[in-house]
Amino acid sequence: MSIFGNILSLLFDSKQTKTPVTTRQLKAQKNKATWDKMAANPVTTQTEVIVEDIQNETDSIRTLFLTPSLAPSDTAQKPVSQHFHPGQFITCEFEVNGKKLKRAYSITSAEQETNTNGKLQISVKKEINGVVSNYIHDDLQVGDRFLIQGPSGDFVLPDSAERIVMIAGGVGITPFISQLRSQPENTESPGPEILLVYCCETPEDTAFRNELNRMARSNARLTVKYIYNHGQDAKRLSPEKLRLILDDWCSDPIQLEQNSTRFLLCGPAGLMEMAQESLSQQQVITERGIPPENILREAFFTAGQQNHERPQSEQPIHFRRTNKTVTALPGQSILDAALQGGLEMQYSCQVGGCGHCKIKVHKGDVYSDEPNCLSSNELNAGYRLACLSYAASPLEIDA
């Protein structure tokens, strides 16, 4: 059904029920249909969005409110919960100084919010040498457009957990704010007990602080603890401090070791390493330590940067599983060459962070940008990321 058909059916329904349909509702419905279409095929659908509003959360973090700019070509409806799962990210493509640059950002809106006003939010920190984040903070204006793709990622709340401990550092709060905004505020509704340990430089540097305080006041199941690195009573999070916070929150440490309690970590690498190590070791936080499968991490990743000259000649790439050969043009990634050659490829972030485009190189030389999310074991076993890798000789790929 076209968007016009969708609007007509809404008007028709409104006549039947005598309920007036406002322009705003129609717009939200149209936006929802576009998000539905995108969520139905997150890997291949690129959607153009308009920046409807910009809001500063702190001096260095700002939120963009986005709505789709295109009418959807069909209106396959899904419940709103299937738009995205709170904690997922989208990949954004900006044109900065004539170059197309992609970055992945966590969605910060609540899932129900996307349904009611049709807007999707992302919150971006201005990084000192961040080309894209500086562009977003200094140049991007309300009314500007860019492409997004996704949602992607599996940093989502486990369905079965009775207790959830979130440990956030700085802008690592972004997936958690979406998850918290998506929780029912009514404590009669089923839902987990949640502890948020939020580490920031100073109170002024704490994004969403007022909103988090309001949530904690109105939701008895939510506890928020702030840890500041600077200022009065500043104390970085340490294993001992984490243990005291957890002891205070959960009177029976045995419960922390059970599958009904899950730990989610998102923040700078040092904070996540410290938290993961102290949680999983014996006799640091709990007697036996938290089972590794109950600790979920969302790594911050820097988009892969070019660290080699791009290969200057065309190269054939043979894909073993499909028995197809494509040609990589000079400067073309293996992923782009495969897609241009008509191959079905798994991919999402295209900046080296999600691992969806992992391929195994059987023969030939490949240059790969760094950093990327592959482990040293995967690299040693011949795995590469197709989005950040370039053929320097004829290749044979297991994909």
Q: Which residues bind ligand FES (CB under 6 A)?
A: 347-350, 352-357, 385, 387
Q: Is the CB of 35 or the CB of 347 nearer to ligand FES?
A: 347
- Considering beta carbons, is residue 69 or 346 the nearer one to ligand FES? 346
User: C-beta of 147: minimal distance to ligand FES in Å?
Assistant: 15
Q: Which tokens sit at 231?
A: 């200022």
Instruction: Show Cβ contacts of residue 221 under 8 Å, excluding neighbours closer than 6 positions.
Output: 183, 187, 191, 192, 193, 194
Give the shortest CB-352-to-ligand FES separation in angstroms. Answer: 5
- Cβ–Cβ under 8 Å, residues 51 and 141: yes
Q: How far is the CB of 296 from ligand FES (least distance, A)?
A: 18
The answer, yes or no, to whether the previous bond of 371 is cis (omega within 30 of 0) is: yes
Instruction: Return the biggest CA–CA distance within the chain.
Output: 68
Q: How far is the CB of 304 from ligand FES (least distance, A)?
A: 8
Tokens of 44: 């291949």
**Degrees (nearest 5) of the Cα angle 142, 67, 166?**
100
Is 146 within 8 Å of 244 (Cβ atoms)? no
Nearer of residues 104 and 237 to ligand FES, judged by Cβ: 104
Nearer to ligand FES, 29 or 350 (CB): 350
- Smallest gap from residue 367 Cβ to ligand FES (A): 15
Q: Considering beta carbons, is residue 36 or 336 the nearer one to ligand FES?
A: 336
Q: Which is nearer to ligand FES, 104 or 271 (CB)?
A: 104
Give the tokens for residue 73: 């070509």
Helices (H) and strands (E) in the chain, counts: 11, 18
| 136 vs 281: CA distance, rounded Å | 41
Shortest Å distance, C-beta 43 to ligand FES: 9
